[in-house]
């Protein structure tokens, strides 16, 4: 039985910051962001948007009523959780009216969480072929004003419907993982923003990739010649490109072929920024919707990396007619986002929900996105469907 991605959807907040404006405000050469990091814009989430609203919006864009009746598991991968106990998936399950007899959970391991969710979904469908699993990667990346990671921030969610006989991509059974106990990026419970050893994290990203790929080659007998494209975790686009260069080593022909596809695979990431656990799947969406070269039967190699660190290399093969499940004008939709000034972005960055003594907040700003945080009632977050 073939199992894989049947549908894929995406949601970003409606605000965007141009990194040229940020560079000017921080007195940095704009080319450091544009050429040095290969990033041009970043999505900014207002206080009424969080991993629940973004995740629900990404999923609502792809689900039919039949899907909602068949889904019996909702998995949210995230590292920007809104609650230490209750899973974001439970809120999303309710907001989307998914049939009640379902399992809803949240998975955390930095930017790797949703990849673990995808593997869990695959195993579940192998056991229960008639069911469908909704896997959502939803995150808001905030490093801090004027921090090293600031130009790589972003926000958004990718939703994938996993089923038997999928219409986009069959997931192959060739997954290889590596776990390495390191402190390259982490966020203690008492911190608002992550602690990052930036340079170390970039080195670990690449070393985990090359060592895991060597093991993948030994385990599967496959090589880069088997793949038409590669999608990597994209904390910022230049990091992905460096990863690709590292595994291609001195094979210039393969590097040039895969680099062409890589540039198609970062079109959305470059204008959204880092969405942590969703960034590899945003890259997949970008590849599928922007490549004129890919065709059914082509295989894509994936490298998922979550600091801390866990990584996974796996692959998928495109199904006949996959392009019918995609959106043609997504970049135009992204161009409709409201461009913020740096002062507006900074104001949103520091905005916090002001709770009264009883844990209520009722005067939240208006938000006409499909899903929004409406109020907090005795410390309970209440969401609105618009």
Question: Where does this chain bind ligand COA (CB under 6 A)?
Answer: 29, 31-32, 35-37, 148-149, 152, 196, 198-199, 201-202, 205, 235-236, 238-239, 307
Q: How far is the CB of 61 from ligand COA (least distance, A)?
A: 27
Contacts of 369 (CB under 8 A, 6+ apart): 13, 14, 48, 49, 53, 57, 386
243 is in an annotated binding site: no
Asked about 79 being catalytic, the answer comes back as: yes
Point out the catalytic residue in the list 79, 106, 150, 264: 79
Q: Where are the beta strands (DSSP E) in 296-364?
A: 299-306, 310-318, 338-339
Beta strands at 229-232 and 299-306: parallel, antiparallel or unpaired:
parallel
Closer residue to ligand COA, CB minimum distance, 205 or 281: 205
Closer residue to ligand COA, CB minimum distance, 227 or 303: 303
Residue 348 has, within 13 A of its CA and on its CB side, a CA count of 24
> What secondary structure does DSSP assign to 123-163, as a single string?
HHHHH-TT-EEEEEEEEEE---TT-TTGGG-EEEEEEEEEE
Asked about 165 being catalytic, the answer comes back as: no
150, 244, 257, 227 alpha-carbon torsion, rounded to 10°: -120
Closer residue to ligand COA, CB minimum distance, 149 or 166: 149
Q: How far is the CB of 112 from ligand COA (least distance, A)?
A: 10
Point out the catalytic residue in the list 109, 233, 311, 369: 233
Q: Which class for 298: exposed (0-12), middle (13-18), buried (19 or more C-beta within 10 A)?
A: middle
Contacts of 253 (CB under 8 A, 6+ apart): none
Closer residue to ligand COA, CB minimum distance, 239 or 315: 239
Distance between CA atoms of residues 299 and 318, nearest Å: 6
Contacts of 8 (CB under 8 A, 6+ apart): 62, 158, 159, 160, 161, 168, 281, 284, 285, 288, 325, 326
Q: How far is the CB of 210 from ligand COA (least distance, A)?
A: 14
Other beta carbons less than 10 A from residue 94's beta carbon: 14
143 is in an annotated binding site: yes
Q: How far is the CB of 333 from ligand COA (least distance, A)?
A: 26
Asked about 379 being catalytic, the answer comes back as: no
Q: How far is the CB of 195 from ligand COA (least distance, A)?
A: 11
242 is in an annotated binding site: yes
List beta partners, residue 71.
132
Point out the catalytic residue in the list 41, 106, 111, 150: 111
Q: How far is the CB of 63 from ligand COA (least distance, A)?
A: 31
- When CB distances to ligand COA are compared, the closest residue is 36
Q: How far is the CB of 108 from ligand COA (least distance, A)?
A: 15
Closer residue to ligand COA, CB minimum distance, 34 or 222: 34
253, 258, 259, 263 alpha-carbon torsion, rounded to 10°: 160
- 207-238 core/surface letters (b: 16 or more CB in 10 A; e: else): bbbeebbeebeeebebebeebbbbbbbbbbbb
Contacts of 370 (CB under 8 A, 6+ apart): 53, 56, 57, 60, 385, 386
Other beta carbons less than 10 A from residue 332's beta carbon: 9
Closer residue to ligand COA, CB minimum distance, 119 or 237: 237
Closer residue to ligand COA, CB minimum distance, 237 or 317: 237
Catalytic (active-site) positions:
79, 111, 233
Binding-site residues sit at 29, 143, 148, 242, 274
Binding-site residues for substrate sit at 148
Binding-site residues for (3S)-3-hydroxy-3-methylglutaryl-CoA sit at 29, 143, 242, 274
């Amino acid at each position: 039985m073939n199992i894989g991605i049947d549908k894929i959807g995406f949601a970003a907040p409606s605000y965007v910051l141009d990194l040229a404006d940020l560079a000017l405000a921080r007195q940095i050469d704009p080319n450091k962001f544009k050429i040095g990091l290969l990033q041009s814009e970043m999505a900014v989430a207002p206080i009424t948007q969080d991993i629940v609203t973004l995740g629900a919006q990404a999923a609502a864009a792809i689900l039919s009523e039949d899907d909602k009746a068949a889904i019996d598991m909702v998995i949210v991968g995230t590292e920007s959780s809104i609650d230490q106990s209750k899973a974001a998936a439970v809120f999303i399950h309710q907001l989307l009216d998914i049939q009640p007899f379902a399992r809803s959970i949240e998975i955390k391991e930095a930017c790797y969480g949703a990849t673990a969710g995808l593997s869990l979904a695959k195993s579940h469908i192998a056991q229960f072929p008639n069911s469908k699993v909704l896997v959502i990667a939803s995150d808001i990346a905030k490093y801090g004003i004027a921090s090293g990671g600031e130009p790589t921030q972003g926000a958004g969610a990718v939703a994938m419907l996993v089923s038997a006989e999928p219409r986009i991509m069959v997931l192959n059974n060739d997954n290889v993982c590596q776990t390495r106990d390191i402190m390259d990026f982490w966020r203690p419970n008492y911190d608002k923003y992550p602690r990052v050893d930036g340079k170390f994290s970039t080195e670990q990203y690449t070393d985990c990739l090359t060592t895991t790929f060597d093991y993948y080659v030994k385990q599967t007998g496959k090589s880069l010649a088997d793949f038409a494209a590669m999608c990597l975790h994209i904390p910022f686009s230049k990091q992905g490109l460096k990863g690709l260069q590292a595994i291609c080593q001195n094979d210039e022909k393969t590097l040039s072929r895969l680099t062409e596809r890589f540039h198609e695979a970062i079109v959305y990431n470059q204008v959204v920024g880092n969405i942590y656990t969703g960034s590899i799947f945003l890259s997949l969406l970008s590849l599928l919707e922007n490549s004129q070269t890919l065709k059914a039967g082509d295989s894509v190699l994936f490298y998922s990396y979550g600091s801390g660190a866990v990584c996974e290399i796996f692959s998928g093969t495109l199904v006949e007619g996959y392009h019918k499940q995609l959106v043609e004008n997504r970049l135009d939709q992204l161009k409709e986002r409201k461009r913020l000034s740096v002062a507006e972005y900074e104001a949103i960055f520091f905005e916090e929900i002001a709770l009264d003594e009883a844990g209520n907040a009722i005067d939240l700003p208006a938000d006409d996105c499909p899903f929004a945080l409406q109020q907090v009632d005795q410390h309970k977050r209440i969401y609105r469907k618009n």
